[in-house]
Structure 1
Amino acid sequence: MLTDIAVRKAQARDKPYKMFDSNGLFLLVTPAGGKLWRLRYKIGGKEKLLSIGPYPEVTLAAARDARDEARAGLRAGRDPLLVRKQLRAQAANDDRKFEKVARDWHTLNKSRWTERHTADVMISLEQMVFPLLGNVDVAEITPPMVLDVIRRIEARPALETARRVRQRMSAIFLFAMGLGLATTDPAAVIQKAMAPMTKGRQPALVTLEEAREALAACEAIPAHPVTRLAMRFLALTHVRPGEVHGTRWTEFEGLEGDEPLWLIPAPRMKMKDAHKVPLSRQAVELIEALRELTGRMPYVFPNERNAHKPMSENALGYLLNRAGYHQRHVPHGWRATLSSIMSQRFPADRAMIDLMLAHVPKDKVEAA
């Protein structure tokens, strides 16, 4: 049997030679100085040779373990060479699956996205696409298969989400085409088969009485407490829903003082400008109540399934729909609610209201 010292000191010769260990294991030493582990075995009366790997990457002990594993397979009637080919084929197949390609695409692109968008993209894929197509070879996915995914989202109904998911799937297929893993983009083909969506203003309540009724309705139905509090926080701060989804505890300042602030960093804002939101007494009380629920987590409003991800971009919309406000009021509508109520009460303060909403004036002189 071989020893580590003997293997380490083995020198190259003019011709390749073998150093035998036991049970068919040997070390092949090449004229170039390479040291390669091999296993000779018989199956079905035929002698075969299995390559285990080079020394010192594969140690003597590791080579013996590989030999023992191969011989155990032989006793069970499995050809080690065939097992290796099957494992390699499986690994190659895994690389072609839609979920693997999608995660590679996501990793490649996330450096140019905001943190919130990065999380939103992956959550949408994990919840709506991977359960149906994740294990399918990316080259075998057809337009009807993609359309089935989109139809399920449209039926909720979530037409805007369906469009975003289709766009993300299309980008993944184009990525796969660039890698030579696919030849077509089936997500592009189905665009004209999607449910039509009428563009226009998002529905919103425009009176204080209606706003109070909506909040009361949302808090009267069964729902996760964090989702309920997120809805109230959105109404109190009139930011965009996505800015609430990704809120981190580190963004709050002066909660115990006279001027509590929520500082939303520029990367999380639509216009990429940092935004300061003064917090009312009610908003501060809500935040303190949330500490008992999510204070140890990075996000103030975490995802129900994964506390290290922001809440789903659809959670607030679902809550309003279940409360009876489908096509009457959407999460983004709280901004219109504030704008309408404040404009009626303080018509001379239009510029201040726009500042509260983080609106950028279209007129360059006005903006300056």
Structure 2
Amino acid sequence: RWSEIDIDNAMWTIPAEREPLPGVKFSHRGSKMRTPHLVPLSKQAVAILTELQTWAGENGLIFTGAHDPRRPISENTVNKALRVMGYDTTQEVCGHGFRAMACSALIESGLWSRDAVERQMSHQERNGVRAAYIHKAEHLEERRLMLQWWADFLDANREKFISPFEYAKINNPLK
């Protein structure tokens, strides 16, 4: 929803809960952990969202459904697009698999703290004692650098494959 996007500060704030959309199942769901979740936006994401704003209707949705612009795209739209491109979404890749792909690549790069990656994925610490001490840590500046690195890594892989580890050797924003 456009109300969650702050283009000027390059930030998407996923609320704990959303205002439900009439007739849209689960539209009240917010962040995975039911607390507001901050997602820093890369320059590439800001550019795409800025362009999308020129086409946006008045309904407040970023990605509207094909048949009704007052409803969001279906949760299966990404998988359908992947199948149209020739991917087997049961064996090769699926929409939710992009989260695992990002998480793995960020860890494999060796650049980012596991805590920052886990926080970005909105995962909860399972060690109760540790969780009591780190639950307020946002790692926001590291995550901002991390998501810009991720967007640049994806751009680099348009040309030819480069592993996260090898890409980190030539693009280390922490140095």
TM-score of Structure 1 vs Structure 2, range by shorter chain: 0.5 to 0.7
- Residue identity opposite 1:361 in structure 2: E
Change (3 A) 1:282 1:320: same
Q: Given that residues 261 and 277 in structure 1 are in contact (C-alpha distance below 8 angstroms), is that contact kept between their aligned partners in structure 2?
A: yes
Residue of 95, 98, 106 corresponding to 1:331:
95
Residue of 112, 117, 123 corresponding to 1:353:
117
- Following superposition, the deviation at residue 295 of structure 1 comes to 4.4
Alignment partner of 2:39: what SS? Answer: strand
Q: Given that residues 32 and 122 in structure 2 are in contact (C-alpha distance below 8 angstroms), is that contact kept between their aligned partners in structure 1?
A: no
Corresponding residue of 1:260? 10
Matched, 1:306 2:68: yes
Change (3 A) 1:315 1:348: closer
What are the equivalent positions in structure 2 for 1:193-204 lying under 5 Å apart?
none
Q: Which has the higher contact order (CA 8 A, sep 6+)?
A: 2
Corresponding residue of 1:340? 104
Aligned partners of 2:107, 2:72: CA distance in 1, in Å? Answer: 33
Matched, 1:250 2:14: no
Corresponding residue of 1:142? none
- Following superposition, the deviation at residue 332 of structure 1 comes to 0.7
Corresponding residue of 1:272? 34
Q: Which consecutive unaligned segments of at least 5 residues does structure 1 have?
A: 1-247
- Following superposition, the deviation at residue 313 of structure 1 comes to 1.3
CA offset digits 1:14-34 (Å, max 9, x no partner) = xxxxxxxxxxxxxxxxxxxxx
CA offset digits 1:23-67 (Å, max 9, x no partner) = xxxxxxxxxxxxxxxxxxxxxxxxxxxxxxxxxxxxxxxxxxxxx
- Residue identity opposite 1:362 in structure 2: R
Aligned partners of 2:119, 2:104: CA distance in 1, in Å? Answer: 14
Residue of 29, 48, 58 corresponding to 1:286:
48
What are the equivalent positions in structure 2 for 1:210-221 lying under 5 Å apart?
none
CA offset digits 1:223-282 (Å, max 9, x no partner) = xxxxxxxxxxxxxxxxxxxxxxxxx111112x13xx311000001122211100000000
Aligned length: 118
- Following superposition, the deviation at residue 307 of structure 1 comes to 0.9
Aligned partners of 1:320, 1:309: CA distance in 2, in Å? Answer: 21
Aligned partners of 1:282, 1:338: CA distance in 2, in Å? Answer: 16
What are the equivalent positions in structure 2 for 1:1-368 lying under 5 Å apart?
248-253=1-6, 255-256=7-8, 259-267=9-17, 268-326=30-88, 327-346=91-110, 349-368=113-132
Change (3 A) 1:348 1:315: closer
Alignment partner of 2:81: what SS? Answer: helix
List 4+ stretches of structure 1 deviating above 6 A. Answer: none
- Residue identity opposite 2:77 in structure 1: A
TM-score by length of 1: 0.31
TM-score by length of 2: 0.63
Aligned partners of 2:57, 2:31: CA distance in 1, in Å? Answer: 23
Aligned partners of 1:347, 1:291: CA distance in 2, in Å? Answer: 33
Task: State the identity %.
Answer: 32
Which one has a bigger Cα radius of gyration? 1
